[in-house]
Amino acid sequence: MAPRTPKNHVPDPVASSEDDDEYDGPSKTQLKKEMHELQALGEALAALPESRIVGLPVSESLIGAVMEYRRTRSHEGRRRQMQYIGKLMRRNDVEPIREAVLAMQLGQAKDSLALHEAERLRAELIASDDALTAWTQKHPGGDLQQLRSLIRAARKDAAVAPEQRSGRAYRELFQFIKAQTLADDGGGDGGGDGDREGERDDD
């Protein structure tokens, strides 16, 4: 039979405090939230170019799992594989992954700005000879003869169908502007953005 507690017994405040401060680990809700965040980061990781993925300082098992996810086509298969990736990421330092994903997103934003800038310059060059003067001052090393030819052809296209932006010269002028801008900035060839611009013009 357990001894009775005296009526005037006062609980030990130190012992009570220690009991209250005891940490049982993260809750199920917190663990679930963290897993969802890791899976979202895993999806962004899988969207990176393969060269960036294999160069990350993470485990070979994680890289292999990501490559398997990229090869998987079924929705259910990809869902299960991403769950597995999320578990593997808990054993890896995810900071380099976050940095790689952020760098990719910033690069895409920069490409989008370059796309819109090329579209703006094209519209100005077609609309006014003053824009051509400003262009030659800013890009003295460009092929001025080719640029003039493209502008004349694009103006003819615009005169025939002002509401459309699908003429060949119109697209070639865009490609010329973007290639020259990227060359001056020390960038790449910009082929991907040029292709998307052409597809949008054809819509």
Across the range 162-167, mean pLDDT stands at 60
Helices 75-89 and 60-71 pack at an angle, to 10 degrees, of 170
What integer pLDDT is reported at residue 188 of this predicted model?
A: 47
Q: Are the C-beta atoms of 173 and 151 separated by less than 8 Å? A: yes
Q: Coil, strand or helix: which one is 4?
A: coil
CA within 13 Å, CB half, 80: 5
Q: Pinpoint the residues of the chain covered by CATH 1.10.60.30.
A: 28-93, 109-202
The answer to whether residue 203 scores a pLDDT higher than 90 is no
**What percent of the chain clears pLDDT 70, i.e. is strictly above it?**
75
CATH number of 28-93: 1.10.60.30
d(CA 104, CA 107): 5
Statement: residue 131 has pLDDT above 70: yes
Region 94-105: mean pLDDT is 91
What was the pLDDT predicted at 74?
Answer: 96
Could you tell me the sign of the dihedral formed by the alpha carbons of 49, 54, 38, 86, in that order?
positive
Q: Which CATH number fits domain 109-202: 3.40.50.11540, 1.10.60.30, 3.40.50.620, 1.10.3210.10?
A: 1.10.60.30
Does the pLDDT value for residue 185 go beyond 50?
Answer: yes
Among 58-62, 78-82, 121-125, 155-159, the least confident range:
155-159
pLDDT band for position 160 (cuts 50, 70, 90): confident
pLDDT band for 33, please (50, 70, 90 cuts): confident
